[in-house]
Structure 1
Amino acid sequence: MMMTDLYDRYLQNPKICTDTRKIIAGCLFFALKGPHFNGNEFAKEALKKGASYAIVDDELYAIDDKYILVKNALTTLQELARFHRKELKCKVLGITGSNGKTTSKELCLQVLKKKFNTLATSGNLNNHIGVPLSILSIGTDTEIAIIEMGANHINEIEFLCGIAQPDYGVITNVGKAHLEGFGSLEGVLQAKTELYRYLATKDAPVFVKDNDYVLIDKIPKECPIIRYGELKESNYIIKYNGAQPFVKVLLNETQIQSQLIGDYNFDNIALSIAIGMEFGIETIDIKEAIESYVASNNRSQIIKTNANTILLDAYNSNPMSLEKAIQNLENIKHENKVMILGDMFELGEETNIEHQKIIDQCLKSGVSNVFLVGKIFNAINNTKYTSFDNTRDLVELLKTQAIEDAFILIKGSRGMKLEQVVDCL
């Protein structure tokens, strides 16, 4: 089938599904494959549940005209998204970076929708499957789309840019994340700046923090640079105004009080303000958007229990973000501070070194009550802190040894599932 014909069928009811548990009536079902499943086996079920067509890549399953046989279902999904993007009139803002992508995306969404019909990547749909799904969720009435792009190997951002075709771009920062795939910090920088190199092909602008000289140095001359931050030469001057515990900023003479903890969130807030200003959002609307945003989904999420205050940041962890989280805890004014820290994944040859650095930082922090969770932390010899092989073992301890009247930082990689300890606190 020609892509134009498939696109016509998509336009009849522009909904895409890849999971038979989430079928939408009239959708196109793409039979994707994974390590432990073959989507072709679920195509019949998808049609029974209301899908209009099933896109399959095994002729054994293409038994009637409701099945559309293609060479590769995933490649077809990506090509359909690329075709759709070319038909869209909206502006696309591409966001990538080692930390802060999702928080920045959500803040930008809150700001931009004050004036524009704005869509943003749902959840963390930021990979070779998620970005096509995000693009295909954009309607013809959308004015701005914010597309988050993640990667753990070289050339992934370049590939995703070919699908999303951003008109603006931002790299939130570059740190030691996914080193197994990138090899080194220089590899991370090379991969993330693929966004810049794509934007250079269309003379498209880049938003960048005014003092991030590593990234500024990588911006091609073809890209107009929109600087934001505290330096007087910036296009948009946003000043840090404290964080005890919630970050405050000044935009001209207007104070904006966020509901985000940690001075590291200043960069995310400043970016959303700069983007809002660039797109003509009024200061009062920017203030309202940022002040109303509350973090969720285990990302810088504040939870108050009967006994404690918890900063739950258990969606992801890497050396850069964990170091900043510990520094932030040091600055919080509270008599009883606790850290529950989980393993950081995908660090390759630097795994043990980076985990030891975190233990050393904890020792210098002045926080005495520290729990380390995961096989990596547990394998490192330390005489100061209690460590556990897994989250379940910590939960069992907390059931018998209550923590009370504490401010607790919980941070670890997603696979550690540290949010499970919250019910014990």
Structure 2
Amino acid sequence: MLNLTPRDLELITLGELIGDVTHVDSLARAVIDSRHIGTDDVFFAFKGEKVDGHAFLQAASDNGAALAVVEQRQSNIGLPQLVVDDCQKAMARIALHRRKQFSGVLMSMTGSCGKTTTKGMLVSILRQRGKTDATEGNLNNELGVPLTLMNMDASSDYFVVEMGAAERGDIRYLMQIAQPDITAITNIGTAHIGRFGSREAIAETKAEIFAELQEDHKAAINLDDAYASDWLELLADKKVHSLTFSQQYDTADLLARDIVSSFESIQFTLCYQEQTKAVKLPATGRHNVSNALCAAAMAILAGCSLDDVATGLAEFVPVAGRLAPLKGSWGGPLLDDSYNANPGSVQAAIDVLCQFDARRWLVLGDMAELGGYTESAHQDIGEYARSAGVDELVAFGEQSNHTLAGYFAASASTDKKTGRAFTDHDKLVAFLRQTLQPGDAVLVKGSRSSAMEKVVEPLLITKVSD
């Protein structure tokens, strides 16, 4: 809840309040989509690349908004308006004000893969200790984070903020607003490499989450990541307390050992300061062990015990579309990883698929935002799929031919593996329905632009039971 008055916003933003607001005791929420406006909400008429929020002031008013924050006054709209120079800057100022009102522990993470899953795991752990709130969905950009902070429950003991980046400086900007007490980077991969140009540039951008920390803050470091030594050096210079985690190195503060993975869960032993705790995580894939370690390390830095960690991880509910284990209509397992895709996350998902002792199908939509790496990245994934043990590749989208080219290039001349390409969801689904056999294991994955959930839904029966 925003819990500020229109006059409060006028003072915080240095704007000009126009209209009668004497009837408004307190504003409820900050919103940028007029379709989601409720009674006593404040609507920010943000100007985007394709849509100008000023065109939706009447809709916001009709839906119950008490106030609109605008850059140009709209005199033909009866809704009270707060005129500011820049809506985004106004949002940032209000978000910073709300952050300063929060007395609990605020925690943030970024990374190429696993941010939302790690956030969910961390929230589940922290709830063992106290009231916990977090970013909704993936509102992790220059608009989503301020909205999250403006609407956060200031009575929470813990608040978890996810941070994403589209270019250099984005994380720094968000850090200056959110000012978290504890931060982490899940990993560095090649997601959005088309925007950044290189993996090194991605690492430098993500490292802004550590560079902006103050001396009394804390950080969780993934010792398995290639850039861990750079982060540790950076934090040592800043005298920030760090806690390392790893699946590989015994020198880490927090370790996962004796990892046993099934198709619905992962079991491992968590080791910290001569303590051990058995953990059963209702997720699949070794990459989720890394996500769990990251969440555990952040929770420990916040004062949680290993018992809290184990209980919280056991109660974690996987996010839909992120390697959710389902049962397909053909009588075999369906791994729904349709939410998004980048080269690193696709490889991790393929590794999970290839644990099945069955005919293994990869149904892969295009990976977006790879820039000049697009063709080679899809070819590389095709090669990886074949070498990992994928039996049948079904590629979807404009890059299908590149994915298939890599897949067949890695195949022996006597290999009976097959591949198909599609650009129509309905035709793809029809092919799978006709071809899949009982027991076949299927992984569906792709970037948001590929909308691979349109493939999952028609093939779905139900969630696999433990």
TM-score (norm 1): 0.92
Residue identity in the other structure for 2:167 = H
Map of 1:272 onto structure 2: 295
Map of 2:444 onto structure 1: 410
CA distance in 2, matches of 1:170, 1:302: 27
Map of 1:2 onto structure 2: 11
- Alpha-carbon displacement from aligned partner over 1:305-358 (angstroms, at most 9, x marks no partner): 34221111111111111122212322x132222111111111111111111111
Maintained 8 Å contact 1:240/1:250: yes
Map of 1:371 onto structure 2: 394
Residue identity in the other structure for 2:267 = K
User: What is the SS of the residue equivalent to 2:96?
Assistant: helix
1:238 to 224, 241, 256: 256
Map of 1:196 onto structure 2: 210
Worse-matched range after superposition: 15-24 or 64-73: 64-73
Equivalent residue runs for 1:7-46 within 5 Å:
12-46=26-60
Equivalent residue runs for 1:11-410 within 5 Å:
12-61=26-75, 66-199=80-213, 201-219=214-232, 220=234, 221-222=237-238, 223-230=240-247, 231-245=249-263, 246-251=265-270, 252-306=275-329, 307-330=331-354, 332-378=355-401, 382=405, 384-410=418-444
Q: 1:328 to 1:11 in 2, by over 3 A?
A: farther
Maintained 8 Å contact 2:107/2:181: yes
Maintained 8 Å contact 2:422/2:428: yes
CA distance in 2, matches of 1:107, 1:11: 37
CA distance in 2, matches of 1:155, 1:280: 31
User: What is the SS of the residue equivalent to 2:152?
Assistant: coil
Following TM superposition, by how much is the alpha carbon of 1:420 offset from its aligned partner in structure 2, in angstroms? 1.2
CA distance in 2, matches of 1:52, 1:195: 36
- Alpha-carbon displacement from aligned partner over 1:56-75 (angstroms, at most 9, x marks no partner): 11123475671111122222
Q: 1:213 to 1:366 in 2, by over 3 A?
A: closer
User: What is the SS of the residue equivalent to 2:74?
Assistant: helix
Maintained 8 Å contact 1:248/1:255: yes
Following TM superposition, by how much is the alpha carbon of 1:364 offset from its aligned partner in structure 2, in angstroms? 1.5
Unaligned runs of 5+ in 1: none
User: What is the SS of the residue equivalent to 2:449?
Assistant: helix
Residue identity in the other structure for 1:30 = F
Maintained 8 Å contact 1:62/1:68: no
CA distance in 1, matches of 2:367, 2:281: 28
CA distance in 2, matches of 1:214, 1:400: 46
Following TM superposition, by how much is the alpha carbon of 1:380 offset from its aligned partner in structure 2, in angstroms? 5.8
Worse-matched range after superposition: 379-388 or 257-266: 379-388
Maintained 8 Å contact 2:58/2:77: no
Following TM superposition, by how much is the alpha carbon of 1:174 offset from its aligned partner in structure 2, in angstroms? 0.3
Following TM superposition, by how much is the alpha carbon of 1:16 offset from its aligned partner in structure 2, in angstroms? 1.1
Q: 1:341 to 1:109 in 2, by over 3 A?
A: same
Cα RMSD, aligned residues only: 2.4
Residue identity in the other structure for 1:214 = Y
Worse-matched range after superposition: 364-373 or 340-349: 364-373
Maintained 8 Å contact 1:40/1:56: yes
User: What is the SS of the residue equivalent to 2:282?
Assistant: strand
CA distance in 2, matches of 1:77, 1:175: 31
- Alpha-carbon displacement from aligned partner over 1:225-271 (angstroms, at most 9, x marks no partner): 11123544333333252212322121244321111110111101112
Following TM superposition, by how much is the alpha carbon of 1:304 offset from its aligned partner in structure 2, in angstroms? 1.5
CA distance in 1, matches of 2:287, 2:404: 30
Worse-matched range after superposition: 261-270 or 78-87: 78-87
CA distance in 1, matches of 2:340, 2:93: 30
Residue identity in the other structure for 1:301 = A
Worse-matched range after superposition: 233-242 or 76-85: 233-242
Unaligned runs of 5+ in 2: 1-9, 409-417, 460-466
Q: 1:379 to 1:83 in 2, by over 3 A?
A: same
Q: 1:248 to 1:344 in 2, by over 3 A?
A: same
Residue identity in the other structure for 1:187 = A
CA distance in 1, matches of 2:386, 2:77: 64
Following TM superposition, by how much is the alpha carbon of 1:158 offset from its aligned partner in structure 2, in angstroms? 0.7
TM-score (norm 2): 0.85
Maintained 8 Å contact 2:361/2:391: yes
- Alpha-carbon displacement from aligned partner over 1:184-212 (angstroms, at most 9, x marks no partner): 0111111110111111x444221012333
Maintained 8 Å contact 1:243/1:262: yes
Worse-matched range after superposition: 285-294 or 340-349: 285-294
Maintained 8 Å contact 2:175/2:209: yes
